[in-house]
Amino acid sequence: MSPDTWLATALDQAADPTATGPGGLPLWEVRLAEAGRACGPERADAARVALLRAARPDTAALARVYRHGTGAERRAVLTVLDALVPDDSALPLVEDALRTNDTHLVAAALGPYAARHLDAHAWRHAVLKCLFTGVPVTAVHDLAHRARGDAELVRMLGDFAAERTAAGRTVPQDLRTVLAHTAAPTEGAPDGVPAGALNGEEN
């Protein structure tokens, strides 16, 4: 069976809430687990997201897949939260992903759902997590809006830059990107950042 045919059939099955697989497991969960093998690595991520959108599982089912799924299945769950969960009930999944050192999970966690529901404290630490782990800040949905005018974020970034410089380590270019979104001055050292803190900045 071709990947296209498999996916079309799997999407139809996923949309049927009564369809079950072995052991009474919802059929959409079975197909989710099969997506990598059936669609191949280049298309599997998109297929998993499409299956979840078709099945429209509730928060409890999403949490179950997240807890027991592979890294790829976890990323798919995080990707669809904004479309499937109208409230903050899935926030523990985002928080769990942000505690990991899996950069792919961290990036997936910082989509529109996190932008809407993470409080200011947790969101700032998520931005710092990106800088610590090398996740591009382009992964942070709505970064420009949430960072604008955030003096506490500026302070935290200044501390981070100073610590890196004192340790003889480079300061990520993404730090300046985030600072620009806070509406800090664009010439010289941004407010809240020691004058020499960016000397070791990465190019």
The predicted-structure confidence for 96-152, as pLDDT tens digits, reads as follows 999 999 999 999 999 999 999 999 999 999 999 999 999 999 999 999 999 999 999
Residue 202: the pLDDT is 56
Q: How many whole angstroms from its chain centre is CA 126?
A: 10
112 contacts: CB under 8 Å, gap ≥ 6? 82, 141, 142
Residue 23: the pLDDT is 86
Residue 106: the pLDDT is 98
Give the global pTM: 0.87
Asked if 72 and 101 touch (Cβ cutoff 8 Å), the reply is no
Helix or strand (DSSP H, E) at 45: helix 41-55
Q: Please give the structure tokens belonging to residue 198.
A: 């960016």
Residue 190: the pLDDT is 45
Please identify which residue in the block is written with the tokens 């079309």. Answer: 8
Supply the Cα-derived Rg of the chain in whole angstroms: 20
Residue 193: the pLDDT is 52
